[in-house]
């Protein structure tokens, strides 16, 4: 007999609404706290958004990032970030480092004299090092990137709102979008709290979080719509509890498998993708929470149509099979 891993029993009767005031209130408090952090501490924008210069340094000798940093820190005025670039196409005698220097002047670029000074500092510890490419991002371009990022996240959120509205009802759309805003705000809040580098890769993570979270929410909403038409006399809160319990195994398994894929990348992926992976990992966790608790709480508060094909009032003598389904308190 084949072994089958079960993280959640096939049938559960958990009362997810027992602490709905606490869960909803906690989400509101965390969202407000995230906004306060963003207004007071701000985000630690990377070079993509602040402007600066990226230098691609190549050498035939293996190098240590710490040695490169020690050589450049005395001569670099702006913020300094050094990462080693890994590529399976690189041969054993090709070693590449990416050196990022924060904005040093209004143009966002470094002078040829500064470039020569940086190369000379590195050649003292590695005579074979060369600068293969130098790219600069000025403050005007970085400002445009910030606005483009805001437009991208806003457009994705509006598109999701319209999709949910057309597929279900406006109450579902409001609940889904509030859950998305919750996920994005909490992700921005933790980046602000720990001053993690926020760049274009983080924007990509935010957009991915939007897609992951709404996918989870749509699965629950789709089952909820089926149950609303099936159990027309069952109280709305019980239908929602039944729905979340029926989809709980899928929600947990999807979240756990995604975390299992992201956790090794967070530990072993290196500095280049660490912030992206952390944003994804955090987004998956808050996305599962908002799907199970926040989105359905909003729909419950707004109310929802019970039957799309028949009058809401059941015929005399009509009774639902699961009208008395009990739900135990959530742990």
- The 10 Å Cβ neighbour count of residue 244 is 24
Which token pair is 326?
A: 């009990």
Q: CB under 8 Å to 183, separation ≥6 — which residues?
A: 209, 210, 213, 283, 286, 287, 290
Collapsing DSSP to helix, strand or coil, 109 comes out as coil
Superfamily in which the 14-43+142-325 domain is placed by CATH: Multidrug efflux transporter AcrB transmembrane domain (1.20.1640.10)
Cα 148–chain centre separation:
18
Q: CB under 8 Å to 209, separation ≥6 — which residues?
A: 183, 184, 187, 279, 280, 283, 284, 287
Angular region, 163: left φ>0, alpha ψ -120 to 50, beta rest: alpha
* Concatenated DSSP letters of 296-320: HHHHHHH---S-SSS-SSPPTT---
The residue extents of the domains of the chain are 14-43+142-325, 52-137
Hey, what CATH class is 52-137 in?
alpha beta
Contacts 24+ apart (CB under 8 A), 33-38: 33/189, 34/185, 34/186, 34/188, 34/189, 34/190, 34/192, 35/185, 35/189, 37/189, 37/192, 37/193, 38/188, 38/189, 38/192
Which of 131, 159, 137 has the alpha carbon at shortest distance from 58? Answer: 131
Cα 60–chain centre separation:
38
Per-residue pLDDT tens digits of the chain, which is 331 residues long = 455 666 677 778 888 888 889 999 999 999 999 999 999 999 888 777 777 788 888 888 888 888 888 888 888 876 787 888 777 677 788 888 888 887 655 555 677 888 888 888 888 888 888 888 887 776 666 667 778 888 888 888 888 888 888 888 889 989 999 999 999 999 999 999 998 888 888 888 998 898 898 888 889 999 998 998 888 888 989 999 999 999 998 888 999 999 999 999 888 876 668 889 999 999 999 999 999 899 989 998 988 766 555 554 544 444 444 444 555 554 4
Tell me the C-alpha to C-alpha distance, in Å, between residue 229 and each of 223, 247, 280, 291.
10, 17, 35, 21
């Amino acid at each position: 007999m084949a072994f089958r891993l079960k993280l959640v029993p096939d049938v559960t009767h958990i009362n997810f609404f027992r602490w709905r005031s606490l869960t909803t209130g906690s989400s509101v408090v965390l969202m407000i706290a995230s906004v306060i952090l963003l207004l007071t501490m701000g985000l630690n924008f990377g070079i993509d958004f602040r402007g600066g210069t990226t230098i691609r340094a190549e050498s035939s000798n293996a190098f240590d990032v710490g040695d490169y940093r020690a050589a450049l820190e005395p001569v670099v005025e702006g913020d300094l970030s050094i990462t080693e670039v890994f590529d399976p196409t690189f041969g054993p005698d090709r070693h590449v480092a990416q050196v990022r220097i924060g904005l040093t002047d209004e143009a966002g670029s470094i002078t040829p004299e500064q470039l020569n000074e940086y190369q000379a500092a590195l050649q003292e510890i590695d005579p074979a090092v060369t600068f293969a490419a130098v790219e600069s991002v000025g403050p005007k371009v970085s400002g445009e990137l910030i606005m483009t990022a805001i437009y991208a996240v806003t457009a994705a959120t509006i598109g999701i709102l319209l999709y949910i509205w057309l597929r279900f009802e406006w109450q579902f759309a409001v609940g889904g979008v509030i859950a998305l805003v919750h996920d994005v705000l909490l992700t921005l809040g933790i980046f602000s709290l720990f001053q993690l580098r926020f760049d274009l890769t983080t924007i990509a993570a935010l957009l991915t979080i939007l897609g992951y979270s709404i996918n989870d929410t749509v699965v629950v909403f789709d089952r909820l719509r089926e149950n609303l038409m099936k159990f027309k006399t069952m109280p709305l809160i019980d239908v929602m509890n039944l729905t979340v319990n029926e989809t709980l195994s899928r929600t947990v398994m999807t979240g756990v498998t995604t975390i299992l894929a992201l956790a090794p990348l967070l530990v072993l992926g290196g500095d280049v993708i660490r912030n992206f992976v952390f944003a994804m990992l955090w987004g998956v966790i808050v996305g599962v929470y908002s799907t199970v608790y926040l989105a359905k709480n909003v729909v419950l508060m707004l109310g929802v149509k019970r039957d799309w094909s028949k009058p809401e009032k059941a015929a005399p003598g009509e009774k639902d099979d699961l009208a008395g389904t009990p739900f135990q308190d959530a742990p």
